[in-house]
Amino acid sequence: MIVLGIETSCDDTGIAIYHTKRGLLGHTLQSQTLTHSDYGGVVPELASRDHIKHILPIVNQTLKSSNIERENLHAIAYTQGPGLAGALLVGASFAVALGFALKIPAIGIHHLEGHLLSPFLSTTPPVFPFVALLVSGGHTQLMEVHNIGHYKLLGETVDDAVGEAFDKTAKLLGLGYPGGPAISKLANIFSISGKSNNFILPRPMLNSGNLNFSFSGLKTAVLTLSKKYKITQEIKIEIAHAFQEAVVDVLTEKSIAALKQTGFKQLVIAGGVSANTRLRENLSSRTKEIGATIFYPDHEFCTDNGAMIALAGSMRFQNDSKLVKNSFTIKPRWDLEEN
Ligand code: KG4
Ligand code: ZN
């Protein structure tokens, strides 16, 4: 079975073609970082216009580079939500129209399901069941994953998502958008220096007794520091490191607690923040200590991409036809558990 995947939930137009026997045949990502960088965040109307401009040429380009004709496709999977309404509509209407023309199904996929299944694109995928730590610009959740479409929320952020906290902190430090890679780069410079950090930031909700998170206070702590000190490059590096350490500590300890609570031995981390090297290292050593294994997507599939949507679509088709809902709707707000 050959599935075309379309991701347009935010600021990346991601297109991919997935073959259930041969794996990923090709994928293309048109990033809108430059379009939005002057504004310090994503401008929804500009995102929609960019998707409209690029979607058809990228689909054609990906078909060509994958050596696949449109007529060879068996299904189309598109991101149905959550995300920006206008951006989602571009992908959904394109997918449904193409599916209608080719007489093949166009199915809506939950964006977070795409992320949590993305490690299945790797050569050593996890096996159900597992715990998933979903860390992106819009979400921070711990999920109990029993199978495709069988998800139980264990805990989530009560305020900012962790990627959002990276982005807001980067903005405060004048590091531009997206903030995650920028903060991580500075934090790594500090780690290499071997110095000890003068700033210790709080670990919010570390001992809350549940699996929820809170990150908005960290941003406020950084704001307080940035008012107190003259923000030189050295101070930025030190704050970035202190911020990353606090975030990584909380994400790690809650993930370990989730593994202990469920008794599962596999942890998947996915979403943009799973690209963070410090988070991967810390989680790898802590999971090892308790006899568990960690899985994460290849670097290029951490942030939004079409491959994870094509893969999720193909897994739904193969797993259970009841999981395939052929419809033209978008769900800008949508809980994964309802999926
Ligand atoms: O999954 P994603 O591409 O989009 C959403 O679904 O939201 O995640 C984007 C988020 C941004 O907040 C970005 O700053 C963050 O992922 N991010 C990182 C890193 N790379 C991307 N955060 C921390 N460290 C990174 N290396
Ligand atoms: Zn995402």
Query: In this predicted model, what pLDDT tens digit does every residue of 178-209 receive, in sequence order?
Result: 899 999 999 999 999 999 999 999 999 999 99
Both 258 and 180 in a single domain? yes
Q: What percent of the chain has pLDDT over 90?
A: 92
Ligand 1 geometric centre to CA of 271 (Å): 7
Reduced to 3 states (helix: H, G, I; strand: E, B; else coil), residue 263 is coil
The pLDDT score that the predictor gives to residue 323 is 63
Question: Which ligand sits closest to the CA of 137?
Answer: 1
Both 146 and 63 in a single domain? no
**Residue 319 predicted with pLDDT over 90:** no
Does residue 191 lie within any of the structural domains?
Answer: yes
Domain total in the chain: 2
**Residue 240 predicted with pLDDT over 70:** yes
Ligand 2 geometric centre to CA of 139 (Å): 8
- Determine the Cα–Cα distance for residues 113 and 149; give it in Å rounded to an integer: 8
Of 324 and 15, the one with more pLDDT: 15
| Residue 86 CB less than 6 A away from ligand 1 | no
Q: What is the mean pLDDT of the chain?
A: 95
The pLDDT score that the predictor gives to residue 325 is 64
Both 239 and 333 in a single domain? no
The pLDDT score that the predictor gives to residue 176 is 86
The pLDDT score that the predictor gives to residue 40 is 77
The pLDDT score that the predictor gives to residue 328 is 81
Do β-strands 106-110 and 23-31 pair in parallel, antiparallel, or remain unpaired? unpaired
- Determine the Cα–Cα distance for residues 218 and 224; give it in Å rounded to an integer: 10
Atom of ligand 1 nearest to the CA of 275: 26
Question: Which ligand sits closest to the CA of 277?
Answer: 1
Both 145 and 291 in a single domain? yes
Does residue 281 lie within any of the structural domains?
Answer: yes
Query: Predicted confidence band at 322 (pLDDT cuts at 50, 70, 90)?
Result: low
pTM of the complete model: 0.95
Mutate to test the pocket of ligand 1, among 80, 299, 303 (most ligand atoms within 8 A of CB): 303
Atom of ligand 1 nearest to the CA of 304: 3
The pLDDT score that the predictor gives to residue 9 is 98
Ligand 2 geometric centre to CA of 193 (Å): 32
Mutate to test the pocket of ligand 1, among 166, 244, 274, 280 (most ligand atoms within 8 A of CB): 166
**Residue 290 predicted with pLDDT over 80:** yes
- Determine the Cα–Cα distance for residues 98 and 93; give it in Å rounded to an integer: 8
Here the CATH number for the domain that contains residue 179 is 3.30.420.40
Does residue 122 lie within any of the structural domains?
Answer: no
What residues contact 330, with CB distance under 8 A and at least 6 apart? 80, 81, 85, 88, 89, 92, 108
Q: What percent of the chain has pLDDT over 70?
A: 98
| CB distance 75 to 326 below 8 Å | no
